[in-house]
Chain A
């Protein structure tokens, strides 16, 4: 079936040009720590942008907030404090690394627009407890928005394309958008909620082909208390499984997402499903690699795969690197920052690595 892809990007959101205040994600720094470093490097070195990464920042409470264990007032105050850090540093464009943080900020700002008394309350609590004040950001954009905005500029600097060097054909890429990117506020997402163009735009610009599979728009199943509580995880993983089964016939080369939860679970659940049901979703039993958009961009820009942290994913990426024609040193894979060779991790029983 022919898809008319040009239709998806009709809606463009406002994305600031420069002078960004960066807010880190809790889980991204643990599960794919190279991504945020890569993002800062891309913005500073490749695009020459001013992006501030301050050290006295903290969680946005997203996971706790959406699991109903952090009350609204707490989240509001936390958001207010993060904004005060931005205001104090003289910045106006807020860039939260995590899609759920992006959702939290968009939601709180929307709440304050509709209920100014809540904004006043947040200002009061923040001032009484910390002596800080804040301004609302002029622009809130997700880092994937910024990479999307400058995708053509980045393309000029890229050493590789999303093309299979053995066949010369575009790589088939599954893109997956975090729910909190555009489902809460469709206007806040490039291409809106049903067919966000933010990752598809990068893939297409950089030579790849977007896989449009039936369950493309289905949630990855990450949820919040759904995976926090062990007894609920069967439900969480079933959603990812539904997606894998649906994308499998297209034989995707990799998955790229813009949400920490999606990246983590679409990666790690492949291990779970393989170990529980002996099922993998590629022909050779390795699973489908799952990358963040920063890792994808970093690889194409020629950054070292191990510095990007690809070895920290569950599904290993050597086969993808080979297809891209990217050189890597297997001996460097498990090397610490100080240069020490670390022991190899334990291998799963069924999922090949």
Chain B
């Protein structure tokens, strides 16, 4: 991160001295009118980088505290990663509706949403930060929340699995689309006789440089397997796993339900190769490691459970801000009590820019970060 004494700024942005003065006035207000403070609009703007669920939740909480927010989203839409899902575990609630509710809350007088806007540079000023967007506009604010999120793993990098080569090999997001449309079909447009899920694609794999567990894929496969069986009761469903990590509330029960009610078959073993067959299906090779025997299977669809990686924005901003953590995620000050803080005062972190999280975790993390920001601004 660049640091400078004398910043450049746009017309609409406060000069550092002004920022300082406002900060001081905030302090005065907070000292004098501690009780009424919640009612008083903070004259300061907080910049949130990333309009995913963590960023949006943080924005909502900040406005509840009368704090103006400027939100930057690199993509044309808010909440895309969650919106790309159909139903979410463990209660099969509607992902689209969740995002819709959150997006609606962004329509608030204290929130300015800048879509298609990427932050390309962050400059640290005395007591403030200047963010430069891709249109060349600077925004100077006393506090920044980085919520630049994750990106689904590109399964093409696992070339042996044939993603991007064989039509029958799809990723878990493509299956979400099929489930939403109620059109889970093989590459010939027929009802699949068999569907195979493969866990840990892009996670726990040294070959792609990711030693970590993405932690949502196990339960996602269980959820998707159940959805497939609900839509297509006659389809055989197999899940190939290295370990099953069903750690959240209700996850183990869902796993049990998948086995018992839906006859989903779980096989411990990693698929090492996928190829097309003469009749347009997919042949896979794996080992049943619980038997110690290799096996061969032909399936209509091979669904790759892709993990989470730091988004390009996270990687870039993490690097330029000197907050680069493992695997391109950003590093918080401490994972226990200061997980929303960075080692730079006024620079906060939330959501999957730090590590893989499920939706509720990311939402909670955004909320927690907002409260840390309020705490900081009141000081």
Residue numbers of A with Cβ under 8 A of B are 1-4, 7-8, 192-195, 212-217, 249-250
**A2 contact set on B, CB distance < 8 A:** 167, 187
**B278 contact set on A, CB distance < 8 A:** 213-214, 249-250
Contact call B164/A7, Cβ cutoff below 8 A: yes
**A212 contact set on B, CB distance < 8 A:** 275-276
- Residue in B156, B159, B168 whose Cβ sees the most chain A Cβ within 10 Å: B159
Report the interface size for chain B: residues with CB under 8 A from the other chain: 18
The 4 A-B residue pairs with the shortest CB-CB distance, nearest first, are A1-B280, A214-B283, A249-B278, A194-B159
Q: Knowing A1-B187, A214-B283 touch, does A195 contact B159 (C-beta < 8 A)? A: yes
Contact call A195/B165, Cβ cutoff below 8 A: yes
Q: Which residue of B lies closest to A191 (CB)?
A: B159
The 29 listed contacts between A and B (C-beta, < 8 Å) are A1-B167, A1-B168, A1-B277, A1-B280, A1-B282, A2-B167, A3-B165, A3-B166, A4-B164, A7-B156, A7-B165, A8-B165, A192-B159, A193-B159, A194-B159, A194-B160, A212-B275, A212-B276, A213-B275, A213-B278, A214-B275, A214-B277, A214-B278, A215-B275, A216-B275, A217-B160, A217-B273, A217-B275, A250-B278
In the docked arrangement, what's the CA distance between A300 and B276, Å? 30
B355 in contact (CB, < 8 A): no
B281 in contact (CB, < 8 A): yes
Within 8 A of A (CB), among B129-176: 156, 159-160, 164-168
Within 8 A of A (CB), among B168-210: 168, 187
Q: Which residue of A lies closest to B169 (CB)?
A: A1
- Interface contacts beyond A3-B276, A212-B276, A213-B278: sample of 12 additional A-B pairs, CB < 8 Å, sorted by A: A1-B187, A1-B281, A1-B282, A193-B159, A194-B160, A214-B275, A214-B276, A214-B278, A214-B283, A216-B275, A217-B160, A250-B278
Q: Which residue of A lies closest to B156 (CB)?
A: A7
Whole-angstrom distance between the Cβ of B299 and the nearest chain A Cβ: 12
Q: Which residue of A lies closest to B273 (CB)?
A: A217
**B275 contact set on A, CB distance < 8 A:** 212-217
In the docked arrangement, what's the CA distance between A168 and B167, Å? 28
**B159 contact set on A, CB distance < 8 A:** 192-195
Contact call B160/A1, Cβ cutoff below 8 A: no
In the docked arrangement, what's the CA distance between A141 and B282, Å? 34
**B282 contact set on A, CB distance < 8 A:** 1
Whole-angstrom distance between the Cβ of A164 and the nearest chain B Cβ: 20
**A195 contact set on B, CB distance < 8 A:** 159, 165
**A192 contact set on B, CB distance < 8 A:** 159
**A4 contact set on B, CB distance < 8 A:** 164-165
In the docked arrangement, what's the CA distance between A193 and B168, Å? 21
**B273 contact set on A, CB distance < 8 A:** 217
Q: Which residue of A lies closest to B159 (CB)?
A: A194
- Residue in A3, A212, A214 whose Cβ sees the most chain B Cβ within 10 Å: A214
In the docked arrangement, what's the CA distance between A3 and B166, Å? 5
**A7 contact set on B, CB distance < 8 A:** 156, 164-165
- Residue in B166, B187, B275, B277 whose Cβ sees the most chain A Cβ within 10 Å: B275
**A8 contact set on B, CB distance < 8 A:** 165
In the docked arrangement, what's the CA distance between A216 and B277, Å? 10
In the docked arrangement, what's the CA distance between A249 and B281, Å? 14
Whole-angstrom distance between the Cβ of B273 and the nearest chain A Cβ: 6
Whole-angstrom distance between the Cβ of B231 and the nearest chain A Cβ: 22
**B283 contact set on A, CB distance < 8 A:** 214
Q: Which residue of A lies closest to B188 (CB)?
A: A1
In the docked arrangement, what's the CA distance between A2 and B281, Å? 10
Whole-angstrom distance between the Cβ of B161 and the nearest chain A Cβ: 9
**B276 contact set on A, CB distance < 8 A:** 1, 3, 212, 214
In the docked arrangement, what's the CA distance between A213 and B283, Å? 10
Whole-angstrom distance between the Cβ of A213 and the nearest chain B Cβ: 7
In the docked arrangement, what's the CA distance between A250 and B276, Å? 12
**B164 contact set on A, CB distance < 8 A:** 4, 7
How does the 8 Å CB contact mask read for B323-355 relative to A, with 1 for contact and 0 for none? Answer: 000000000000000000000000000000000
In the docked arrangement, what's the CA distance between A215 and B273, Å? 10
Q: Which residue of B lies closest to A186 (CB)?
A: B159
Q: Which residue of A lies closest to B168 (CB)?
A: A1
- Residue in A1, A193, A213 whose Cβ sees the most chain B Cβ within 10 Å: A1
In the docked arrangement, what's the CA distance between A213 and B282, Å? 10
Q: Which residue of A lies closest to B276 (CB)?
A: A1
In the docked arrangement, what's the CA distance between A193 and B273, Å? 12
In the docked arrangement, what's the CA distance between A320 and B273, Å? 32
**A216 contact set on B, CB distance < 8 A:** 275
